[in-house]
Amino acid sequence: MSENKMYVEVREGVRCTFRELHESERRAVKSHQLSIALQRKIIRDAQANLDKIIKQCQEDEVLSKVFYDEPGFPYDVRNFVLTGKSSLI
């Protein structure tokens, strides 16, 4: 975050004004901003890892064909465990 002056919106009834952030508020904003950025990176890394695992399962000759059948009406459903695909049987 740049070192620009930061402000907070202050509502007074129907009127709206602003004030400059206090130093403690500025530190809290920066801390939260860093926490959010870290969590977003963790999520991106986890998604990339998940995508890699799913691709491996879809390309594997055996793993991609593991399934269980679920009774239904009027058709039963075949669910492929690792790929998450389903089909009517």
Q: What is the pLDDT of residue 86?
A: 87
Q: What is the pLDDT of residue 36?
A: 98
- As a whole number of angstroms, the distance between CA 18 and CA 81 comes to 55
Which tens digits make up the pLDDT trace of 6-44? 999 999 888 999 999 999 999 999 999 999 999 999 999
Share of residues in the chain with pLDDT > 70 (%): 97
- As a whole number of angstroms, the distance between CA 25 and CA 19 comes to 12
Cα separations in angstroms, 21 against 3, 14, 28, 79: 12, 22, 10, 55
- As a whole number of angstroms, the distance between CA 20 and CA 6 comes to 6
- As a whole number of angstroms, the distance between CA 68 and CA 73 comes to 16
Assessment of whether the complete model's pTM goes beyond 0.85: no
pLDDT at 75 over 90: no
pLDDT at 2 over 60: no
